[in-house]
Structure 1
Amino acid sequence: MATMMLAAIFVVLSLIATRGSVAQFPVQGLQPLQDQCAHLQEENSHLTGTLDQLESCVQGCLRNSFFHQTDCEPGILAYYPLDNDFKDHCNAFHATPQGGVSIDHATGQNGAARFDGTGKLVVDFFRLYQWGTAFSISVWFKRTGGFTTYSGIVNNGYHTTGSWEIRMGRSGSTYLTHEEFGCGVVTANSPATWDFSSVDAPSHTWHHAVMTYDGFRLSFYVNNEPQHGNENCCSGPILARNTPVTIGQAGPGTVGNPEFFTGLIDDVRLYGKVLSTEEIAALYSRGAGMN
């Protein structure tokens, strides 16, 4: 199968070099590549059969071949250990640092990303990404400041303008304090996040958060414990947005309130599947790099 894939990729790359276009993959010999990328066609309606789209598919196949690591789990979209860099160690969808963010090794053998309240990590690859009806996000975090403002942990946009988010509260909020946080997804019938709120997360302490969505039910786990919220908030695919995945800020923030995170974030994992309770427990048992 690997030989057939390489042969098909060679044919497509040769065609791409000519920059012509075809409709519905009419060139013979591409069947192996079509088979490999069928799941992409199903999940991404924008794949219509042009060579530009074939090129994107081939790049994904090549990326998986050259960057896949043996410790990457099935179904993982991106993995940011944040031990020594801001790279995706599974599929090379690397994060770009902006502002005050660095790798901190001060309190442990492994590293974690330290955010000073002015910086974030941005992954532009996920703009317009079709999240579908099977999604999970796992993250470790420790908040150490910025308690007067909401603070984005990981998301792909702010509240109603993104597709999903995990975000901290603020002191003096009517329903969230700086030691509480929430999460949610955005679908056609659920236009805002905060499907879970007022979840306890004391500051200056490491916490593990996992959010999963299966197209009908949203679940949220903190330190391997299931939380109570609006589990039946949503149905259907998570909406695609022209926004990047952002770590350390609530999307781009709002005017006068950027909602940067202050503290440490570690071991961020995005999945195109619904994590099982056993998988969540295994992630929790590994701990954070600086825990």
Structure 2
Amino acid sequence: MNRRKFIATIGTAAAGASATVGTGAFTSVSADRSVSVQVADDADAFLAMTPSNGPNGEFAETTGDGTIALALTDTDAGGSGLGTDSVYEFDDVFRITNQGTQPVYAWATFAGASGDFTPNGTNTDIYLYPNGDSDDQLQDSDEDVLYLGVGQSAQIGVYVDTTDVTTDQDLTMTVNADVENPASGATVGGGGTTIPGPTNGLVSYWPLDSVGDGTAEDIVGTNDGALNGGVSAVSGEVDGAAAFDGSDDYVNVPDDPSLDLTGALTLAAWVKPSSDQDNYARILSREQSGAGNRQYNLGVDADATDPRTVVDTAGANGVEVSATVTFTDDSWHHAALTFDTSDAVRLYIDGTEEDSTPVNAPLVSRSSTVKFGAPAHLPGKDFFTGRIDDVRIYDRALSATEVSDLYGDTN
């Protein structure tokens, strides 16, 4: 039986160039490029790549110049290559981490194939996939891209199909990262979860599907939340959700600079508010006590019936936006708040804008946790009763079309 050798070298697509970038913020980076950049070892770059600690990590090696090379050849157990006319899936070969200052989309392309080996396109014989799911082909516009929040990592696997391949292959792999989404396919989070709806500017996303495991996982950022009281796992509008009893239940997300948003933001969540609701109950809150300290929140009004928000800007206290729509009716509703310092605070319910108030100054900046189901600053009151699902925070104001798309994509 013939044995095949596949070598994919990351960071040598352009002579003398690395797949990584040195210090400073970046908007787009590719290993195959003509611009002049300062380079760093793969482990230290903004898009860091390191061999896995798992058993398949032996197929990734750090070269003398600090870059990663994939060598699907000899193994420690005595193997000498890949068998012909076979399909291989190597989970968790190396890890990729966003060490930059912005969320990015990542994907890979291959070049240098010979014979009948196809390196790209819909019938590709080799591609990367994240977190053990080979259905997620990280291939630019042809298939999927990986969304990585700042500080987030993913396990990267390698798929190889050797059908009809009769020659050894020496390939070059180009790993790309961009703040803009290039793909027409699905967007996959670093945790392996497909992210429906807009993803540009998505700072944190809590699907609340992992509540049964004792945590509210942020699958695009690093802002995991802790459960307090008796928050429980229930069915949601989008897979699982969290249930809050209105007495002492809430999710607490620690203070983090990524959540200290003042110039523009979007808050969004699916909620099923109970008709037995406290007045001023909070769905999501980052604020301190008293006028002048309400950075952002989303909840219900004094009558415990209508959706409402009150925020404080550098120019005005008590900027209120509310909607006179059926809300606390034991039914699922999508609630979204957008803020743009040069435009307005806008409140959307079920994909439709219900009210807005003009603003011309940024939100106040306050040190605070973020809480789901309770105010961030008032212990023992204004608890939310009902279910909360699919919570998101963006660092920009989504347009009306994007809010409508988010509602439709997750409904």
Does structure 1 conserve the Cα–Cα contact (< 8 Å) formed by 2:255 and 2:368?
no
Q: Which has the higher strand share?
A: 2
Match of 1:212 in 2: 338
Q: Which has the larger radius of gyration?
A: 2
2:408 aligned with 1:276: no
RMSD: 3.1
Find the aligned partners of 2:21 and 2:237 in 1 and give their Cα distance. Answer: 46
Does structure 2 conserve the Cα–Cα contact (< 8 Å) formed by 1:126 and 1:245?
no
| Offset, 1:143 | 1.2
The percent identity for this pair of structures is: 23
Find the aligned partners of 1:137 and 1:102 in 2 and give their Cα distance. Answer: 22
Find the aligned partners of 1:148 and 1:90 in 2 and give their Cα distance. Answer: 32
The alignment partner of 1:242 has SS state of coil
Structure 2 residue corresponding to 1:113, chosen from 228, 237, 242: 242
The equivalences for 1:177-256 within 5 A come to 177-196=303-322, 198-216=324-342, 217-229=344-356, 231-232=357-358, 234-253=359-378
2:266 aligned with 1:136: yes
Match of 2:190 in 1: 68
2:44 aligned with 1:10: yes
Structure 1 residue corresponding to 2:221, chosen from 88, 91, 94: 91
Listed one character per residue, the Cα deviations across residues 207-252 of structure 1 (whole Å, up to 9, x for unaligned) are 11111111121111111111124x11x3222211111111001223
Task: Write the letter of the residue equivalent to 1:136.
Answer: T
Match of 2:88 in 1: none
| Offset, 1:204 | 0.4
| Offset, 1:145 | 5.1
Query: Which consecutive unaligned segments of at least 5 residues does structure 2 have?
Result: 1-17, 23-39, 47-98, 104-147, 155-188
Task: Write the letter of the residue equivalent to 1:222.
Answer: I
Total equivalences in the alignment: 235
Match of 1:167 in 2: 299
| Offset, 1:128 | 8.7
Q: TM-score when scaled to structure 1?
A: 0.70
| Offset, 1:197 | 5.4
Task: Write the letter of the residue equivalent to 2:389.
Answer: D
Does structure 2 conserve the Cα–Cα contact (< 8 Å) formed by 1:128 and 1:240?
no
| Offset, 1:114 | 0.2
The alignment partner of 2:255 has SS state of helix
| Offset, 1:159 | 6.4
Match of 1:51 in 2: none
Q: Which has the higher helix share?
A: 1
For CA contacts below 8 A with separation 6 or more, give which structure has more relative contact order.
1
Listed one character per residue, the Cα deviations across residues 109-129 of structure 1 (whole Å, up to 9, x for unaligned) are 821110011110111133695
| Offset, 1:131 | 0.9
